Amino acid sequence: MTYLEELAAQAALNKMFRGGYFSICTLDDVLKMGSIIPDRKAYAILHTLHCVDFKDMPDELRSEIPELIRQCLGIATIFQFDSLKQKTITISSIQRLINYVNG
């Protein structure tokens, strides 16, 4: 992905997390934009969660969603996601994105 595509993906995924429920459509858009074929197992788990409120998921499952997204994207590192409890989950070493997000 290009830098702008990474920023767009990050913005879309963060919006989804703030929206209160998981949307496979958001992930599908990111995958399509990057011409990425997702990891089948991770995608299957996430697909079953489509439109499920984060509050209705067990904590253990909810906390694994960023990692499942990373697996779907098939890259070693991605971005920072705003968690549902207003803390940041870092699953990235892409320094320019971290610096951009943190201002």
Closest CA to 12 of 61, 73, 57: 73
- Domain positions in the chain: 3-102
Predicted pLDDT of residue 17? 87
**CA-to-CA distance for 84 and 30, rounded, in angstroms?**
20
Predicted pLDDT of residue 70? 86
Closest CA to 8 of 40, 31, 41: 31
Q: What is the pLDDT along the chain (103 residues), one digit of tens a residue?
A: 788 888 888 889 889 988 889 999 999 999 999 999 999 999 999 999 999 999 999 999 998 998 899 899 876 655 555 544 445 555 554 444 545 454 4
Closest CA to 4 of 97, 72, 91: 97
Predicted pLDDT of residue 38? 95
Q: How distant is the alpha carbon of residue 44 from its chain centre?
A: 15
The conformational region for residue 75 under phi > 0 = left, psi -120 to 50 = alpha, else beta, is beta
